[in-house]
Structure formats: C-alpha cells, structure tokens
Amino acid sequence: MSSEPLRSIHVMAGVITDPRGRILLTRRTEGRDLAGRWEFPGGKREPGETEAQALSRELHEELGIAVEVGEPLITVPQQYPDKRLRLDVRHIASWKGAPRGHEGQALAWVAPDKLPRYAMPPADRPVVAALLHPDRYLVTPVPAAGEDTTWLVQLEAALSAGVRRVQIRLPGMGEDARRRLARLAVTLCRKANAEVLINGDLRLARELETGVHLRAAQLPELSLRPLSDAVPVAASCHTAEELRRAEDLGCDFVVLGSVQATASHPGAAPLGWEGFARLRESVSLPIYAIGGMQPDQIDHARQQGAQGIAAIRGLWPVTAEAVATSLS
C-alpha cells in the first residue's frame, strides 16, 4: 500500500537588515513545530498571492512593519516528516516601522557572522550559508606537464576575478610535485583571502593547515569529522545516502552532481535540476551544484536550493592569453 503524498507548503521569508548590518531573526513559539528554533521571519503564501504580496502581508501581520521586497536570495526545498516545504527567501530592500513580535515571538538582531550560533529549522541553514559564503567554488584542473607556472598565473587570475573558495585537486601528480604546487597555491589563496581545501589528502591538509574536500569513497571510511571546526570540511556526493553521511560527519558543505552532462564524465546520466532539487530536500547542508556549470547559472542554481555552483572549466581561465587579458 502506498502512503499518501506529503502536503506541500510554500513559505516566504525575508532577510531584514538594520542600519548596523544586523539581521532580524524570530523565535518559533511554543505549540508550533520546532518550537524554540530561530528563523528568518515570514509565513505561508496564500492562494492568489504573488510571492512579494505574501511576504509583505506576513511581515506586516507578524512584525507590524511595511516592507519593500527586494531580490531573491535562495529557495530551499526541504522535506520534513509531515510535509514538503519550499522556503523562498527574499532580501528586504527597505522597511518602515518598529518590528515587534505581534504573535508573542521573541526577536533578535544578529550580526551576520553570529548567525551560525543560532539553532534553526533545517531549511534555514542553507539560507545562512547563502548570506555568508561564496556562491562559486573553484575546483582546480591538473596542470599540463611543465606548465606549473602558467597554472599558478591562471589560479591568480581566477582569484582576481572574485573566486573566494577553492579546492586544490591535483590527481595523477607525484607526491613531491603535488605538495610543492599545493603549497604555492595555498599561499596565493590566502593572499587573496580565499578559503582553500585540499582534495582527499587529510595528511596534506593538516600539514598545510587547510580544509579538506572528501571524495565520496572516503565518506564510509570515516566515523567522525576528520578535522577541527576551525577549518572547513566538504565532500563530493551523488546520492541521498552520501548526502546524509556527509551531514552525519559534520561536513560544512558538499557538492552534488553531475547536474548536467559533462565531457569529463561522458557516460554518466546527469541528475538534471529536478533531480538535484529532490536530493536537496533530504538534508540541510549547503550544497553546490556541479557538472556543466557556468557563472550565469548561479541565480538558477539558487532557485533550486543550491549554495551556488562548483566548476573547473566554468571558473578557470582557459588560456595564458585569457589570463593576460584578464590581468591587463
């Protein structure tokens, strides 16, 4: 006997910022699901309302303020035991009034970097990540033989173009050459204030004091988070089981794909965006979409619940000539 489909709920939420740059959170009251958790204020969209109308109405009823709804931030599909939620989050461009908890809820104005300290419902965790962390994640290609210098110049150009999260992935290189190049790459990333993770090699990550990006095959081998909370831990995932395993290990974020067909995996069936969103529902992790991604797809990726995109070709300067042009 098949179970009845879960009810679907479309919830609008707003990122409200005060003149000091703090963000408003509200606390779920007793008697509600996940009582006591903090969340971005908003509520359910009613039939016949546009997204902006629903959010404006909810914030007026809940907080007593009049708002101008701004640009989308992220839309998070999240499955709960009794429902499927679509959390549609918008920036609030401006607001008037003095926010008060008209439904008896507590309010807190929180500095952005303090948001992760607040216990939130699962759907809100990706929202915090979307506010605080990069929307693109560069995975480095392997340099051609004798092209280490060009590779470093290309990395520097990618950093100059705004990349702020980098995975150093150098398969097939000898250990000494890989360590030397990784060390130089880490220096460039730190100079650009970019977060850097080493692919798969925990020993090298500890040696260079970087984060680590775990391969999917490594996930079943670990029972605990392999590095301290002071450095990032990420993972590559392809299935719901791998996503849940990464979450159980305490990964800070993951990449999921391939979303689209890629030249590097010609025989692999892509997830497509529908498949990506369906898997996104199963965990509260921030997730980058990978596989055929380009920067102009970031907004669409965010509407499927992604933190943004991860890519090699899409974020890497193609040729030395292109590097020279980008730096001129």
Binding site listing for Mg(2+): 42, 62
Q: Identity (one letter) of the amino acid at 64?
A: G
CA 110 – CA 208 distance, rounded (Å): 33
C-alpha–C-alpha distance, residues 155 and 159, integer Å: 6
Dihedral pair phi/psi, residue 233, rounded to 5°: -125, 125
List the binding residues for 8-oxo-dGTP.
28, 39-42
CA distance 257 to 290: 5
| Sequence letter at residue 60 | H
Distance CA 117, CA 281 (A): 23
Q: Which residues are part of a known binding site?
A: 28, 39-42, 62
- Output the CA–CA distances (angstroms, integers) from residue 22 to 36, 110, 192, 312, in the order listed: 20, 5, 26, 35
DSSP string for 180-235: HHHHHHHHHHHHTT-EEEEES-HHHHHHHT-EEEE-GGGGGG-SS-SS-TTS-EEE
Other beta carbons within 10 angstroms of residue 1's beta carbon come to: 2
Q: How many residues appear in the chain? A: 328
| Residues β-bridged to residue 41 | none
Contact predicate 159/194, CB 8 Å: yes
Query: In angstroms, rounded to a whole number, what is the distance separating the alpha carbons of residues 10 and 40?
Result: 14
Could you tell me which residues come within 8 angstroms of residue 93 by beta carbon, excluding any fewer than 6 positions away?
67, 68, 69, 70, 71
Report CA torsion sign: 184, 188, 191, 197. Answer: negative
Reference 208, options 220, 195, 219, 218; nearest CA is 195
